[in-house]
Chain A
Amino acid sequence: MDNSFTKLIDKLKNRNIYLDKNTLSRYTTGKVAPFAVIEPDSPQIMSEVMRECYHHKTVVNIWGGGSHQNLGGQLQPYDITLSTKCLNKVIDYEPDNLTLTVESGNTLTGIQNRIKADNLFLPMNPPFSLSATVGGLAASNKFGSFAQYYGTFRDFMLGGKAVLADGQLIRFGGKTVKNVAGYDMTKLFIGSMGTIGLLTELTFKLIPFPEKILSVHLLADNPDILRSALGKIKHTAYPVLSSVLFLDLEDGTVRNPALNIDFQVREKDVKNYQTEINRIFTQDITMSENDFTEYNKRVKSYDAFFDIDDSEILYEWIVPKSQIFGLLSYLQKESEQLNRNIKVLSYPGMGILYSKLTTDEKNDVSALVTLLTARRQYVKSLRGLINIKQCPGQLKQHFDMWDMAGDQFKWHKRIKHEFDPTGIFAAGRFVGGI
Chain B
Amino acid sequence: MRMANMGLVKQCRKICGKKNVLHRPIDLLLYEYDASMEKGRPDVIVFPENTAQIQEIVRMASGMGVPVIARGSATNLCGGTVAFSGGIIIEFSRMKNILEINVEDQLAIVEPGVYNLDLQNALAKYGYTFAPDPASQKVSTLAGNAAMNAGGPHCLKYGVTVNHVLGLEMVLPNGELLTIGGRVSTAPGYDLTGIMNGSEGTFGVITKLYLKIIPIPESLKTMLISFTEIEHAANSVSSIIARGIIPATLEYMDNLCIRTVVKSLKVDYPVDAAAVLIIEVDGPAFTLDEQVKEIESICKENGATDIRLATDDNERNTLWTGRRGALGAMTRLKPSIVVFDGTVPRNRLPEALQRIDEISKKFNLQYGTLLHAGDGNIHPIIVYDERNSEETNRVNIGCQEIMKLCVELGGTITGEHGVGREKIQAMKYLFNPEDLHAMKKLKTVFDPGNICNPGKIFP
Contact = CB atoms under 8 A, between A and B. Distances in A.
Contact of A178 (B151, B216, B243, B245): B151
B312 interface: no
Given A170-B434, A174-B412, A351-B184, A185 B149 contact: no
A191 B446 contact: no
Contacts of B187: 318, 385, 404
Contacts of A384: 183-184
B246 interface: yes
B439 A182 contact: yes
Interface string A64-103: 0000000000000000000000000000001111110000
Interface in A277-313: none
Contact of B184 (A180, A239, A318): A318
B345 A238 contact: no
A181 B376 contact: no
Interface in A142-194: 151-152, 154-155, 164, 168-172, 174-188, 190-192
A55 interface: no
B411 A174 contact: yes
A251 interface: no
A191 B415 contact: no
B284 A238 contact: yes
A383 B184 contact: yes
Given A175-B345, A266-B287, A321 B105 contact: yes
A351 B185 contact: yes
Contacts of A402: 188-189
Given A119-B244, A170-B438, A208-B246, A237 B198 contact: no
Nearest to A352: B185
Nearest to B184: A318
Interface stretch (B9-17, B63-71, B416-424): B416-424
A120 B245 CA distance: 11
B195 A184 contact: yes
B53 interface: no
A415 interface: yes
Most interface-central of A182, A188, A238, A265 (chain B CB within 10 A)? A182
A237 B427 contact: no
A155 B155 CA distance: 12
Nearest to B430: A181
Contact of A154 (B102, B191, B286, B446): B191
B103 A235 contact: yes
Given A154-B162, A236-B218, A180 B238 contact: no
B397 interface: no
B86 interface: no
Contact of A97 (B105, B197, B345): B345
A273 B290 CA distance: 14
A131 interface: no
A177 B372 CA distance: 11
A357 to B, nearest CB: 20
Interface in A343-397: 350-352, 383-385, 387
Contacts of A191: 188-191
Contacts of A323: 105
B445 A418 contact: yes
B322 to A, nearest CB: 22
Q: How large is the interface on A (under 10, 10 to 19, 20 to 34, 35 or more residues)?
A: 35 or more
A407 B189 CA distance: 13
Contacts of A269: 286-287, 290
B304 to A, nearest CB: 19
A177 B375 contact: yes
A239 B377 CA distance: 26
A190 B176 CA distance: 25
Contacts of A188: 190-191, 194-195, 442
B435 A172 contact: yes
Nearest to B163: A155
Contact of B375 (A176, A192, A318): A176
A26 interface: no
A182 B438 CA distance: 11
Interface in B337-380: 343-348, 372, 375-377
B148 to A, nearest CB: 7
B411 A184 contact: no
Interface string B191-216: 11011011100000000000000111
Nearest to A417: B445
A183 B199 contact: yes
B255 to A, nearest CB: 25
B314 to A, nearest CB: 23
A70 B62 CA distance: 42
7 cross-chain pairs, A with B, having the tightest CB-CB distances, nearest first: A208-B244, A187-B194, A178-B415, A322-B104, A96-B347, A97-B345, A320-B105
Interface of B: 102-107, 127-128, 148-149, 151, 155-156, 159-160, 162-163, 172, 176, 178-180, 182-192, 194-195, 197-199, 214-218, 238, 241-246, 282-284, 286-287, 290, 343-348, 372, 375-377, 410-419, 423, 427, 430-432, 434-439, 441-446, 457-458
Interface of A: 94-99, 119-120, 141, 151-152, 154-155, 164, 168-172, 174-188, 190-192, 196, 207-209, 235-239, 265-266, 268-269, 272-273, 276, 318-323, 350-352, 383-385, 387, 402-405, 407-409, 411-412, 414-415, 418-419, 430-431
27 contacts: A95-B242, A97-B345, A169-B434, A170-B437, A176-B344, A176-B375, A178-B343, A180-B149, A182-B431, A182-B439, A184-B149, A184-B199, A187-B197, A190-B191, A191-B189, A209-B244, A235-B128, A236-B218, A237-B218, A266-B287, A273-B284, A352-B185, A383-B183, A383-B184, A407-B178, A411-B172, A411-B446
